[in-house]
């Protein structure tokens, strides 16, 4: 039995909905763990700086790998995780 063209989107809709949910879940999980990793690296570099073990001679934006780079990366990844999770929950409540 052949499915009419007008019915194709109805048949495939649950598959795409489930796939979209899995992708959103992976984005939230991955960005959360990357944010946590960046936070730990930033904290470690900051602690080394506080004890005087690792101090750069000159800190210039874009030329030195410093704790602030990881701090900003952590903020970015945490914001991605929060935004994706809130989008998924709002979209889930509407359906």
- pLDDT, tens digit, 9 for 90 and up, residues 53-86: 877 666 666 666 778 888 888 999 999 999 988 8
Query: Are residues 39 and 74 in contact, defined by beta-carbon separation less than 8 angstroms?
Result: yes
- Domain of 66? 32-95
Is the confidence at residue 32, as pLDDT, over 80?
A: yes
List the single range of 9-13, 16-20, 22-26, 78-82 with lowest mean pLDDT. 9-13
pLDDT of residue 53: 84
The pair of structure tokens assigned to 50 is 């506080």
pLDDT of residue 95: 40
Residue 67 domain flag: yes
Closest by Cα among 79, 67, 3 to 41: 67
**3-state SS, residue 10:** helix
Q: Give me the phi and psi of 32, to 5 degrees please.
A: -65, -50
pLDDT of residue 63: 62
Residue 38 domain flag: yes
Q: How many domains does the chain have?
A: 1
Measure the CA–CA gap between 74 and 78, rounded to whole angstroms. Answer: 6
């Amino acid at each position: 039995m052949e499915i009419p063209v007008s019915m194709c989107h109805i048949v495939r809709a649950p598959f795409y909905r489930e796939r979209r949910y899995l992708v959103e879940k992976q984005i939230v999980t991955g960005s959360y763990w990357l944010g946590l990793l960046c936070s730990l690296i930033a904290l470690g570099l900051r602690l080394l700086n506080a004890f005087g073990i690792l101090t750069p001679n000159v800190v210039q934006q874009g030329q030195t790998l410093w704790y602030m780079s990881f701090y900003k990366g952590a903020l970015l990844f945490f914001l991605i995780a929060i935004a994706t999770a809130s989008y998924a929950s709002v979209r889930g409540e509407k359906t």
